[in-house]
């Protein structure tokens, strides 16, 4: 096992946990029926942006877990670029982090 990768995984996992808690709070707020239309729209968009951030962290955590030797490598197609569209206006191309064993290819 790679100790450095395990420490990196611990750090990413902590951040992922924090960000997932934020996503849960934002999602709950977005579902609040007492909000005005404008407030509800903003809350929904904020939750969508946070979900995009959490998904990126999940990809990163997986790559580091593979490097640490505690996860299996996924199919090559799982590491191809994906498109995020968090608010209907913006579109982002994101290429997930690859484990070290795939970076040469």
Predicted pLDDT of residue 13: 96
| pLDDT tens profile 14-50 | 999 999 999 999 999 988 999 999 999 999 999 999 9
Looking up tokens 């959490």 gives 54
Query: What CA–CA distance (Å, rounded) separates 37 from 19?
Result: 25
Residues facing residue 39 across a β-bridge: none
Query: Parallel, antiparallel, or unpaired for β 92-94 and 82-84?
Result: antiparallel
The domain locations on the chain are 3-103
Predicted TM-score (pTM) of this structure: 0.87
């Amino acid at each position: 096992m790679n100790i450095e990768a395990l420490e990196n995984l611990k750090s990413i996992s902590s951040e992922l946990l924090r960000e997932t808690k934020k996503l849960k709070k934002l999602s709950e707020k977005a579902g609040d029926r007492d909000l005005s239309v404008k407030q509800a729209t903003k809350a929904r968009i904020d939750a969508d942006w946070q979900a995009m951030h959490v998904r990126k962290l999940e990809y990163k955590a997986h790559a580091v877990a593979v490097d640490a030797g505690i996860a299996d490598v996924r199919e090559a197609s799982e590491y191809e670029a994906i498109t995020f569209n968090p608010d209907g206006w913006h579109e982002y191309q994101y290429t997930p982090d690859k484990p070290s064993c795939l970076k040469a290819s």
